[in-house]
Each structure stands twice: as structure tokens, then as C-alpha cells.
Amino acid sequence: MGFFSRKKKKEERSTLSATSFYPSWLESTSTPMLLSTVYRCVDLISDSIAVLPLETYKIDPEGFKVPVRDEDLYEILNLEPNEDMTRYVFFKTMMASVLLKGNAYAFIERDKQNKVQQLIYIPADKVQVGQATINGIKRKRYQVLDFDYPLPEVIHPRDMIHVMNFSYDGVIGVSTLTHAANTMTVANNSESHAAGFFRSGGNIGGILKVEGVRMTKEQKEQNYREWESRTNPITGKPNGIVILEGNQTYQPIAVNPKDSQLLESRQFNVIEICRFFSVSPVKVFDLSKSSYSTIEATQLEFLNDTLLPVITKFELEINRKVFLRNERRNMKAEFNTSALLRADKASQSAYWNTMFQIGAASPNEIRREINLGKVDGGDKTFVQVNVQTLESATKVITQDGTE
């Protein structure tokens, strides 16, 4: 069945599809994931998004956000988007799809009252994005093929969460692997070469010279078999020796790993792959040029340069699709980034201490965030008053209250 091939409407249809120009070995995302740097980058970014709670807020007339946790939508967004996935699994899978496939899709299933029932994740390779001409105007539509869950034949954009990676047309995202195809090929070849070198027991190719005698085909084959049985680590004796006759000389022709700068190339591949994923090499455990100050600065850089754009993509897509048009003015979903400090008690303490000192958070608000119970009188905010002018400090107050 072609895209938008319904017979009921005689309308002009056109199809858009992402162009694939990467090597055949990259067509399956499982192969690139065997590279440790790619695996670490994808796992790091997707994990960092998945751990963030997605809070639902109601916005009052003054613009203040009040957490809402007594509605079904809160459970769908923050606990169980669909019956098969937790929030963590859902967003980790979506983020991995964005990086590896260029796009992530989730169908918004609603009831007859347009209430959201669940968010159904759909693999990117099962979704076609195209344009349908309706009343003379081209409109973006989605079609899902070969998917077990019953879905509409044609899906309106308002019912499909679509998070894109870098996009050239704003319609379909392009995989990071596509842009990094050349670097990934070099990295894969480096890893294959390294594996082959060590698998061969460190042996290299060469030429065996026999001077003064013209050998027959049978004699050559005998030499080949002898050499193979003595040096091949798989079929013979790894790192074995071969006794050469007086008129035989061995001359290596392969470049050894040191001369080919194999280790340097593999280290450079790590940096190149990290560039494409906007991840510092320190975050993938390349500590060759790091220090304590570098690691501390890297964490802040990761939050601002890598996670914040991705968080914004998800929030905007969810807020404009999940909430109905009449709900957008006073409802909002937002990732709680303070969860990133959950395991860092020192940073968490410093943050809440500052919020308390300036009167931005009450003791009970702080205790709620760190999973402690309420205390009496803890709903009031406090500010420090130990700073005063020199004139006030030198005033002497008498017993009757006069200066």
C-alpha cells in the first residue's frame, strides 16, 4: 500500500523520506553501538534524559506554577506513558531513537473526550512522514506500517509526538550516525585492524625470499603449509618460530601498529565521535587530558550544551501536542532538572541552602524535595538579617527603648 493511498479521496499525494548516504555496515544501529564511544555517548545522553521527572504544572493568573499530581495526565507523563513502559524506559528509548535514527515517534491515544490515555512508542523505521494536499493546501501527515497496535491509517500531527535530531527541512531528522559516517567508518576499521592484529598474535605479513633456486609449485605449497602451521594463532602455533634454510630470507612488508600510529588513531576516533554527539571526551572516560577542574567544568558544559537543547525539544513537543489548545495557557509539563543533583549531596545542599537564605524556599518545601516529612512552622520563608549599616550597629538602646 502506498503512502496515503486511500481510495475515498481523490487528492494529490506526495512522499518525503530521509536520504541515506552512509555505508552498508551502518544501516543497522546495532553495529555502530559495538563501538564503545558510540555506546557510551548514546547511553549517557539517553540516561540523563530518562532520569528526569516530567512534572505537570498548572499556571495561575500571576504566572506562578503550581504542581498538579491529582490528574491522570501526571501519571502518564511521569510514571507510566503506556502499559509496556515506565517513564524511564520510554524516554530512554525515545532519546536513543533520536540519536541513532534521527527521529522518535509516539502516538497519543485519546478517548472520545480527547483525554490522553497513553503514549505509544513507535519505532522510527515503521513511520512514514509525508504531505497530503487537502483543499489545495499541503499538510504534514504520518502513516505507520507493519505495527501490531491498531492505529489510524493516517495520523494528524497533533496526535503524534515527533522529536527530531538535526534536520535540514524541519520535517524529518537526520541520524547522528549519518553525519558521522566517515568518522565511524574510520573508527570501525581501526577497531577491526586492532582486533585482527591481536588475533593474529601480533604477526605481520611479509615475503620469504629463496635465492639461487627456482621452486616448484609443490615446494611453494609445502612452505606455505609449514609457515601456517608454525605461526598462525588459530590453525597453528601462535608466536611460533620457523627455521629458514641458508638461502631463505624473510622480509616483512606490513606496517606495525607503532608505525601506523594505531593507538593514536583510536584515541583520535574517540574525540571525533564525541564531537558529533556534543559530549566531552571526559564523559566517555577519556581522562588523558583531564584534571579535577576540567571534570567539574565538563559537567556544567554537558548540562548546558548537550542536555538543555534536548530537554527543550521534548518539552515543546509534549506541551503543544499532549495538552489541548484551550489547556496550553494554564497547563505545562516540564522536566525537573534538580533530579540531576539527587546523587550529589554536596551540590544539592549548596543549592537548597542558597534558596533558603534568600527566602525563595521554605523549610517544608526543601524537606519535601529531599523526601522528609513536614514540620510545624515550616511553611514560612526566612531571610538573614545579620547585615546592617554601620550607623545602626553603633546605636545604643536603653532599657526604656530610647536610643
Q: What pLDDT, in 10s, does the model give residues 2-24? A: 455 444 443 333 443 333 444 45
CA distances from 253 to 21, 110, 190, 224, 250 (A): 35, 68, 19, 17, 10
Q: What is the pLDDT of residue 334?
A: 93
Q: Check residues 235 and 307 and name the one with the higher pLDDT.
A: 307
Backbone φ and ψ for 314, nearest 5 degrees, come out as -65, -45
Count of domains in the chain?
3
Average of pLDDT values for 29-54?
83
Shared-domain flag, residues 198 and 211: no
pLDDT band, very low/low/confident/very high, at 118 (cuts 50, 70, 90) = very high
Shared-domain flag, residues 112 and 237: no
pLDDT band, very low/low/confident/very high, at 399 (cuts 50, 70, 90) = low
Q: What is the pLDDT of residue 1?
A: 44
CB 372: neighbour CB atoms within 10 A?
A: 12
Shared-domain flag, residues 274 and 245: no
Where does a domain end: 219, 236, 253? Answer: 253
Q: What is the pLDDT of residue 285?
A: 79
Q: What is the pLDDT of residue 75?
A: 92
Q: What is the pLDDT of residue 108?
A: 96
Q: What is the pLDDT of residue 301?
A: 85
Return d(Cα 339, Cα 344) in angstroms, integer.
Answer: 10
Average of pLDDT values for 218-240?
67
Q: Is 373 helix (H, G, I), strand (E, B) or coil?
A: coil
Q: What is the pLDDT of residue 323?
A: 92
Cell of 170: 524541519
Range of the domain at 61: 1-202+257-343
Q: What is the pLDDT of residue 400?
A: 58
Shared-domain flag, residues 288 and 335: yes
Q: Which of 41, 42, 35, 70 is nearest to 56 (CA)?
A: 70
Say if residue 120's pLDDT is above 90. yes
Q: What is the pLDDT of residue 15?
A: 42
Shared-domain flag, residues 213 and 334: no
Say if residue 25's pLDDT is above 50. no
Shared-domain flag, residues 276 and 133: yes
CA distances from 235 to 220, 221, 246 (A): 19, 16, 27
Shared-domain flag, residues 132 and 164: yes
Q: Check residues 347 and 165 and name the one with the higher pLDDT.
A: 165
Where does a domain end: 312, 343, 374? Answer: 343
Q: What is the pLDDT of residue 237?
A: 55
Shared-domain flag, residues 132 and 9: yes
Shared-domain flag, residues 245 and 150: no
Shared-domain flag, residues 181 and 246: no
Shared-domain flag, residues 196 and 104: yes
pLDDT band, very low/low/confident/very high, at 93 (cuts 50, 70, 90) = very high
CB burial of residue 397 (10 Å; 0-12, 13-18, 19+): exposed
Where does a domain end: 291, 317, 343? Answer: 343
Shared-domain flag, residues 212 and 194: no
Average of pLDDT values for 374-399?
76
